[in-house]
Amino acid sequence: MKKSINKKNILFVKIFIQINFHLFLFLILLRAQEQEKWVHCSGEAAVQNITTEEAQILARRKARLDAIEQVCGVKLQAETLVKDFITAGDFIHSISYGHVVEEKNLKWEIENLSPENHDSPPLILYRVSMDAKVVPVNEKYDPFFKLDLKLNRIVFQSGDEVILKVQATKDCYLTVINIAANDSVYILFPNSVREDNFIRRKTKIEIPNKNDREMGLHFRVITLPGHKENTEIVKVIATKQKFAFLEEADISSGFGTIGTPKTAITKLARWLSEIPVSERAEATLMYTVQAVD
């Protein structure tokens, strides 16, 4: 009889904890919805030492930064990261302050600028304006929940393999994503070979590990067509509970792809905005991919 009561008590406690955790998540989401705000924002970039496509991507990233600055009251130094087309890093950094979770009413303008040197052709400036929905981040991170992320190198030749080494200070579930130079987002982990993304605290893991690579799973980087060099990002998100990351992503062929380059970043931001800050840890690294002559 005593054992039966104890089992019931344990079951009751487990149910109570689950209910309270889901209630906590509901309240967090409700608070986020109350604070989300639509703003009109804009960004621009000139076709100077970059392609037309890169200028458009850069202008859109600057518009997202403008939206986060307006809602969160912070100044994000985008101009310091424009070199080598690394503005993606500034956008990822801005996630600490807020998330652009939806965009609409995009309008593009093209302007021809007079060059400083009269012998040079005119510069083409791309300017975008849009309405963006921003969810500010007001919660605090868990100071004892941290990630250590390393790559096998930071400069790669096109076709080289990238291997990550990750360690967390707490038991957690890992999601590893790659943000390509054209703003495409790929899920590197979990994947078709390794669907279980739970790791133990202070356990160093490789992604892909040796067994995965022997099974044919490799993460190889290449430059965009016609590009001599690209900068890309690897971002690792660890969560204390299992949060399905964009279940519509198909990982059956290896690594999953999230939507199109135009929508992938906002999908990523929306997913992050739905996870309480105290429930996650993040680590981000940039690397360069150089074309092979």
Topology of the domain covering 147-290: Immunoglobulin-like (2.60.40)
Between CA 87 and CA 108 the distance in angstroms is 19
Q: For residue 71, count CB atoms less than 10 angstroms from its CB and return exposed for 0-12, middle for 13-18, buried for 19 or more.
A: buried
pTM greater than the 0.75 cutoff: no
Between CA 162 and CA 151 the distance in angstroms is 7
Q: How many CB atoms lie within 10 A of CB 31?
A: 14
Q: How many CB atoms lie within 10 A of CB 277?
A: 17
Q: What tokens does 10 get?
A: 């344990």
Q: How many CB atoms lie within 10 A of CB 176?
A: 24
Between CA 100 and CA 90 the distance in angstroms is 13
Q: List the pLDDT tens digit at each of the 293 positions of the chain.
A: 344 445 555 555 455 555 555 554 554 454 544 478 899 999 988 887 778 888 888 888 888 888 888 887 665 544 333 333 444 544 555 556 777 888 999 999 999 887 766 677 778 899 999 999 988 877 778 889 999 999 999 999 999 999 999 999 999 999 998 988 887 888 889 888 888 899 999 999 999 999 988 888 889 999 988 888 888 889 899 999 988 765 556 666 567 777 666 677 777 777 777 788 888 898 988 899 999 97
Position 272: which residue type? L
Provide the strand spans (E) within 50-97.
none
